[in-house]
Amino acid sequence: MPKVVVVYLSTSGNTKAMADAIVEGAVSRNVDALAMNFHEAKIEELKSADAIAIGSSTFYYKMLPPMEKFIESLAKANVKAKVGAAFGSYGWSGEAPGMIAEKMREIGIKVIDPVLRVQYAPAEKDIEECRRLGKDIANKIKPAR
């Protein structure tokens, strides 16, 4: 089964809620999907992924440095997924998802445009958008029938 891996950094659960909804959306399209905190993300898991979604909230106008390092480690491990997506919760400026997309493109992952950003805690309509993104990702990696 095609597989989506969603990796997130979330300090108070907002970006995690987005990640969980992306997984829900993907699963509803009958692909394998799981969400992992970037601390526990295993490179092997990512190597076997057909799509990778990466999310981070914005701190001091960027993503937190450990997330940046994590994305760089993907490049070193030669992780290449067919499809990518970037997302994250933010407060007022929200740079992190755009920066994630840029880094993913640098390592050769084709990232869905536009990135998905939600201000603070996702409301039901935001969760629905996250599910929609999960479905879009799944549709892109499902074999044509």
- Binding stretches for ligand FMN (CB under 6 A): 10-15, 57-61, 89-94, 120
Q: How far is the CB of 53 from ligand FMN (least distance, A)?
A: 14
* Distance from the Cα of residue 124 to its chain's centroid: 19
Contact 144, 115 (CB under 8 A): no
**How far is the C-alpha of 142 from the C-alpha of 145, rounded, in Å?**
9
Least distance (Å) between residue 7 CB and ligand FMN? 13
When the beta carbons of 3 and 117 are compared against ligand FMN, the nearer one is: 117
Specify whether the CB–CB gap between 59 and 9 falls below 8 A.
Answer: no
Closest separation in Å from C-beta 16 to ligand FMN? 6
For ligand FMN, which is the closer residue by CB, 89 or 141? 89
Q: Of 17 and 31, which CB lies nearer to ligand FMN in the complex structure?
A: 17
Q: How far is the CB of 91 from ligand FMN (least distance, A)?
A: 3
Please say which residue, 15 or 141, places its beta carbon nearer to ligand FMN.
Answer: 15
Strands 116-119, 83-90: pairing is: parallel
Residue 31: HSE in the Cβ half-sphere, 13 Å Cα cutoff: 27
